[in-house]
A and B are shown apart, each in its own frame.
Chain A
Amino acid sequence: MPEAALHRVAVTGLGVTAPGVESANDLFTRLLAGESFIRLFRHPHAASPLEIPAVHCHDFDALAAVGRVQATTMDRFSHLGATAAYRAWADAGLNPDGMGGDERCGISWGTGVGGTMTFEQGYRDIMMTGRDRVPPLSVVLAMNNACASHVAIRLGLGSACTTYSVACASSAVAVGDAFTRIRSGQDKIVIAGGSEAPLSEAVIRAWDAMRVLAPGNEETAPMACRPFHARRQGLVLGEGGAALVLEEWGHAKARGARILAELVGYGSSCDNVHLVKPDAKGQVRAIRAALAQGGIALQDVGYVNAHGTATREGDPAEIAALREVFAAGAERLPVSATKSAHGHLLGATGAIEALIAVQSLVHKAIPHTQHLEAPSEDCLGVDHVLGSARQAPDLRVALSNSFAFGGSNAVLAFCAAD
């Protein structure tokens, strides 16, 4: 049989759950203004005092966001994720009553640690209060695919409902999978994104034990995450969710949808070298694969939203990969790491950064790497966007890099719709 004709993939809706943020536009405006969402987080019931810089959705009201029935049957990672998905759906102007089980509409989600808050509550009940049982909804709250399934049920999405757990590349892979499904003709609409609620005591302490969490106090916490800085001290954990509505181009056009950008390429690879030490060669292959699939010339790339976690080893490896791919053009390649503002959302971070890449194309502006006066010697060689946001009237192509523990790499290439 002949291969089905390939379909173009439009981004028609964006939704995000972040502290005090109402919409993707709201988030982007505040990033351009240089706002950091990182604060000192005091764990409410840690066994011993636990304070770290983190992004905590302190004002999030699950009941108001998803309704009483879903709120009581969801873990926090689903609260945050479903909220982002519903916001993206509304932003796309799609039927609020959903698709009635349409077999060509689906969801592709990502999460790293899933329902860790539910597990932690269970352990607390058993070990600290001496109970011999945990609530009967524990399984369905904690399972990693719960968020995607809740969204599929609410919106009547009858195509595949998948959840990827690929550490910090989870939701970039989810977006890539959604892209592939639409591109091949399998689906016409896929909600793609991810969510994470990692601020349980066990998860925070696990990351802390790896010595990769940036320290800070009440005053310094907002500036704790400093990608590419000589004195970078590590990543900042964040909770939240982000979603993109991906839609087959002709379908979006036919319903008169506003097209924000086109997703043109997805590249993935595995370093196959080390569990946590990133390898530029693997990253290079993922970046090149995304560019090749999108048919993108190197000089057309006007922005890279870097993975940029602010770890000692991660940042220089990524810059080395960009220098390898872009060669002499790397010096003129605008790069920023927005984790400096929104933190590291682990399994949701690929989605929020993809969303920011799309917004950069829509608004022709590039948010800067915050708290970076000058790049570290080992991160030189690209055009770091620092100091303040940059207007980019000619911006046509933006990349979003996601490079996970485990050596899994995922790169998304977006093209302006105008």
Chain B
Amino acid sequence: MDTLEQIREYIGKKVGTPAEQIVPEATLDAIGVDSLMLLDLMFDFEDMLKIKLPNDLPRPETVAELIAVFDQYNKPVQDA
């Protein structure tokens, strides 16, 4: 499943937004993802992908920016 599909599934489950509205150019606000929902989403993605996103990450405003964040950090945490 690619990142967009994962985001669609997650937001569909949490907010009920239809998948066809969740497109790269959509703003997160427009698809019902507010700042709290974004925190929750990032937490679950961290869990799922076993990654750790930095706390000072610029806040993504669109689905495309969110995909970019996840794809950038989508690599397993390396054991020391």
Contact = CB atoms under 8 A, between A and B. Distances in A.
B39 A72 contact: no
Nearest to A134: B43
Contact of A68 (B15, B39, B40, B43): B15
B40 A135 contact: yes
Contact of B14 (A72, A136, A140): A72
Interface residues of B, number: 10
A73 to B, nearest CB: 6
Nearest to B14: A72
Contact of B15 (A69, A135, A137): A69
Contacts of A133: 43
B36 A137 contact: yes
B36 A68 contact: no
Contacts, number: 24
B40 A137 contact: yes
A135 B43 contact: yes
Interface in B22-41: 32, 36-37, 39-40
A241 to B, nearest CB: 22
Nearest to A67: B16
Contacts of B42: 136
Contacts of A69: 14-16, 32
B80 to A, nearest CB: 15
Interface in A60-83: 68-69, 72-73
Interface in A126-183: 133, 135-137, 140
Interface string A93-137: 000000000000000000000000000000000000000010111
A167 B14 CA distance: 33
B15 A136 contact: no
Contacts of B32: 69
A137 B15 CA distance: 15
A140 B36 contact: yes
A122 to B, nearest CB: 13
B1 to A, nearest CB: 21
A137 B39 CA distance: 8
Nearest to A72: B14
Contacts of A137: 36, 39-40
A136 B39 contact: yes
Nearest to A140: B36
Contacts of B43: 133, 135-136
Contacts of B15: 68-69, 72
A135 to B, nearest CB: 6
A98 B57 CA distance: 37
Contacts of A140: 36
Nearest to B12: A68
Given A135-B43, A136-B36, 7 more contacts: A68-B14, A69-B14, A69-B15, A133-B43, A136-B42, A136-B43, A137-B36
Closest 9 A-B residue pairs measured CB to CB? A136-B39, A68-B16, A136-B43, A72-B14, A137-B40, A69-B15, A136-B40, A135-B43, A137-B36
22 contacts: A68-B14, A68-B15, A68-B16, A69-B14, A69-B15, A69-B16, A69-B32, A72-B15, A72-B40, A73-B36, A73-B37, A133-B43, A135-B40, A135-B43, A136-B39, A136-B40, A136-B42, A136-B43, A137-B36, A137-B39, A137-B40, A140-B36
